[in-house]
Each structure stands twice: as structure tokens, then as C-alpha cells.
Amino acid sequence: MDRGRPGISPANLRHLARMLKQGRRPASTVYDSIGSDFFLSPAPGWLNLGLWEGEGDEREAEAAVHRLVRTLALELPTGGTILDVANGLGAQDPVIAEVTSPRLFVAVNITESQLRAGRDRLDAAEARPVLADAVHLPVMSDAVDGVISVEAAFHFSSRERFFNEVRRVLRPGGRLAMSDIAVERQRPRTVGEAVAGISNLRTWGVRRRALQSASEIRASLDALGFTDIEIRSVGDRVLVPAIAFMRGRLQRTPEAPALHRFGAKLLLNQWELLYRRGMMDYILTTATAAR
């Protein structure tokens, strides 16, 4: 979605078609459509929703997206092999590299266009880009000291298979740090909740089986032998200010295409409803691979 462009790109049209009939890699369709210059991104190249101290002021946006990644990266060991799963446009990778000083840094993404667009940032982080699926990591077993995944696991075809892969590639004592969307209540109570839930699944190419509560996510990690599992609910510091920030940005960018603005307004209202009604939350998860 390019700022200022009047029309809809072929990638946008593919995205709209895939909302009706999901393809094999729905997330790639979504992120090809969003492009590398999304008019709602908090700062160039950043796609996460941020960890905010304030209420969603534009002036805090860049600090908020950095803070989310730093908070997670600080949970990882330093000087080892680090794997960033679902690295977006790569803006987070120099931050992860700065915090963890990795010996080897690998960034995995299923969206090839993002890996290409983020090449300079990956170079700056000395990260090796790998086009791969989070549920089939092309990495040797017991080879990694830390895995980070920012705001992406809800896209994966199976969170459990991702955790299984993380468990396999981590050395004993290795750490996982990730942010994610938890769904605390799946069953809608009103038509508005049902419409909000379904349209978010279709827009983001998310499969129903990805909808898991924080306690279900904890149970999956526990069953796979992770220890020190900590899950923090931070919806009030992520979703609430991010929605306020994006509403402000929408007002400040009247030149964005009308259809994009309409879709964004609709989704923001739906996120607010899903959060306020206790259906959706944003969580930070850390765990250690048992020794």
C-alpha cells in the first residue's frame, strides 16, 4: 500500500480475492499487499504495534516499536546464534543485533518481497536472510541460543508446530522471546463480535486454529518441555495506544487511497471492540528450552 497512490495495486487485488478464498501462504499475500511503505506503519520499515508508555502520540511511535523489540531481545542470551522468525521488513534486526551481539544471526520470513525490501537493514544487522516457513525451519537441531518472533505466530499454520521447531533448534537452556495475539474468548456473543472476528481472520489470512488463549499457549509450551514460561498481558500498552495512534495517523494522511482508509477505520473499530469485550489480547511470552 503506497502512501499517496490514488489506486489499488495488483497485490491489493490479490489480497482482496484471497479474503474470499484463502491460498496456501495467506500471510505472504497480506504482506505483499501492505508493501514496504505502509501509510499506518509507526516508522519506516516497522510493522509492529509498539509497546507504549503514553496514549499513542505520533511523537512516541518510533520509540514504542523499538521498545517492543528491545524488551523481547533483552530476554535472549548474548554472543550466541540468534534466529529471528518472521522478521517483517527487517527494521527490528539491527536492534536485535545491537542487544544480543550475535555470533551468527539468521532472519527467517515467508514473504520474499519483505526480505528483498529489507536487504539494507539485514546487511546492517549482519543477518542472513532465509525464505522459509516458521513451521519448517531449515536449521539444524540444537544449533540456536535464542529465538525471537515479533507479532507473527498468529499467522503460522500451527503455533504448536512452530513451538516444536523452536524446541528442536534451541540448545538446552536456549531462550524463546516472542510477542503474539491471544484470543481469550472465541465464541461471539453479538453479531458485531462475529463480524469483527471473521473479518479480521479474512483480512489477515489467519486460520481458525491459530486462535488460542494465553493459557492454551502456555500449555503447548509446557507440553513440549519448555520451562520458566512467562506470559504477560500487555494489551493496554500495545493495542489501546496503537489504535489511538493509527486513528490519529489516518486523520493526518487524507491523501491515502480512500479504500485503504475505509478498510483501516473498519479494522480499528473492530480491534477496539474485540479488545474491550475481552476477546483479543496482546501478550509477551518468554520460555527456556529445558536442559
Ligand X SMILES: C[S@@+](CC[C@H](N)C(=O)[O-])C[C@H]1O[C@@H](n2cnc3c(N)ncnc32)[C@H](O)[C@@H]1O
Closest CB to ligand X among residues 92, 288: 92
Q: Is 115 in the site for ligand X (CB under 6 A)?
A: no
Stretch that binds ligand X, among 107-115, 220-228, 229-237, 265-273 (CB under 6 A): 107-115
Span interacting with ligand X, options 52-60, 144-152, 234-242, 268-276, rule CB under 6 A: 144-152
Question: Least distance (Å) from ligand X to the CB of residue 42?
Answer: 9
Cα–Cα distances (Å) from 242 to 15, 32, 92, 185, in that order, read 23, 22, 18, 21
Pick the binder of ligand X from 1, 40, 73, 86 (CB under 6 A): 86
CB of 147 to ligand X, least distance (A): 12
Q: Does 92 engage in binding with ligand X (CB under 6 A)?
A: yes
Residue 171, class by beta-carbon neighbours within 10 Å (0-12 exposed, 13-18 middle, 19+ buried)? middle
- Taking CB under 6 A as the binding criterion, the range among 81-89, 236-244, 253-261, 265-273 that sits at the site for ligand X is 81-89
39 binds ligand X (CB under 6 A): no
203 near ligand X, judged by CB under 6 A: no
Q: Does 66 bind ligand X (CB under 6 A)?
A: no
Please state the closest distance from residue 31 (CB atom) to ligand X, in A.
4
Stretch that binds ligand X, among 86-94, 209-217, 237-245, 270-278 (CB under 6 A): 86-94
Q: Which of 87, 100, 212, 288 binds ligand X (CB under 6 A)?
A: 87
Applying CB under 6 A, among 38, 39, 105, 156 the residue interacting with ligand X is 156
Q: Report if residue 155 touches ligand X, rule: CB under 6 A.
A: yes
Beta bridge partners of 226: 289
- Indicate which single residue of 51, 152, 221, 274 sits in contact with ligand X (rule: CB under 6 A): 152
- Tell whether residue 47 is a contact of ligand X (CB under 6 A): yes
Cβ-based nearer residue to ligand X, 145 or 151: 151
Sign of CA dihedral 29, 31, 35, 41: positive
Q: Which backbone phi and psi does 129 adopt, to 5 degrees? A: -80, 140
Tell me how far apart the alpha carbons of residues 131 and 152 are, in angstroms, rounded to a whole number. Answer: 15
242 binds ligand X (CB under 6 A): no
User: Closest CB to ligand X among 108 and 246?
Assistant: 108
- 31 lies in the binding site for ligand X (CB under 6 A): yes
The residues binding ligand X (CB under 6 A) are 27, 31, 46-48, 86-88, 92, 108-111, 114, 133-134, 150-152, 155-156
